[in-house]
Amino acid sequence: RFMALTRQGEHTIRGRVDVLVAHRAELLSTLERLRGHLAALDHKIGVYTAALETTALETTALETEKESV
């Protein structure tokens, strides 16, 4: 639509601005949604990383305990 308006000439500038403003609003909405997805993903990564660290510590403790027996 933007290009069609551009081809029609100078009298369509208001329409072009309206198209750009609407597109910007859509992008902001998409960014907000993606930021939510990113936050959820970061949280999951943190949970699983902590689980890996806990498992590694437990494994090390068990190995140390076995070696001392």
How would you write the pLDDT of the chain (69 residues) with one tens digit per residue?
899 999 999 999 999 999 999 999 999 999 999 999 999 999 999 999 999 988 887 888 778 888 777
The pLDDT value recorded for residue 21 is: 98
The pLDDT value recorded for residue 23 is: 97
The pLDDT value recorded for residue 55 is: 87
pTM, rounded to two decimals: 0.66
Which letter does DSSP use for residue 27 in this model?
H
In the chain the first and final C-alpha atoms are separated, in Å, by 77
The pLDDT value recorded for residue 11 is: 96
